[in-house]
Structure 1
Amino acid sequence: MKTRLTCPCGEMMKGADEDELVTLVQKHLAENHPDHDYSRDEILFMAY
């Protein structure tokens, strides 16, 4: 299970599970990088 992702901007996000991680990353993208929109699969591909 992948629960962590570090954005190229330096923000590190950690979720309790993959669902929470995807939610956190999508929120981060909406607030900080509105021109980037990634699917669940794309986020989990980049996660570790």
Structure 2
Amino acid sequence: MKRNITCPCGEHITGENEDDLVTKTQEHLKENHPGHDYSRDEILFMAY
């Protein structure tokens, strides 16, 4: 199960599970990178 991702801006995001990671990543993108929306599959592809 993938629970970590590093945004190109340097922010490290960790979730309790894949669903939590996707939610936290989408919130980070909305707040810090408007217009950069990624799907669940795209986020999990980049996650580790």
TM bucket by the smaller chain?
over 0.9
- Counterpart code for 1:11: E
TM-score (norm. length: structure 2): 0.98
**Number of residue equivalences:** 48
TM-score (norm. length: structure 1): 0.98
Distance 2:33 2:15 in 1: 19
C-alpha root-mean-square deviation of aligned residues, in Å?
0.3
Query: What secondary structure is seen at the aligned counterpart in 2 of 1:31?
Result: helix
For residue 37 of structure 1, report the CA deviation from its aligned partner: 0.4
Q: How many percent identity over aligned positions?
A: 71
Distance 1:46 1:34 in 2: 19
Query: What secondary structure is seen at the aligned counterpart in 1 of 2:5?
Result: strand
Q: Could you list the runs of 5+ residues in structure 1 that have no partner in the other structure?
A: none
Instruction: List structure 1 segments (4+ residues) > 2 angstroms apart after TM superposition.
Output: none
Query: What secondary structure is seen at the aligned counterpart in 2 of 1:34?
Result: coil
Q: Could you list the runs of 5+ residues in structure 2 that have no partner in the other structure?
A: none
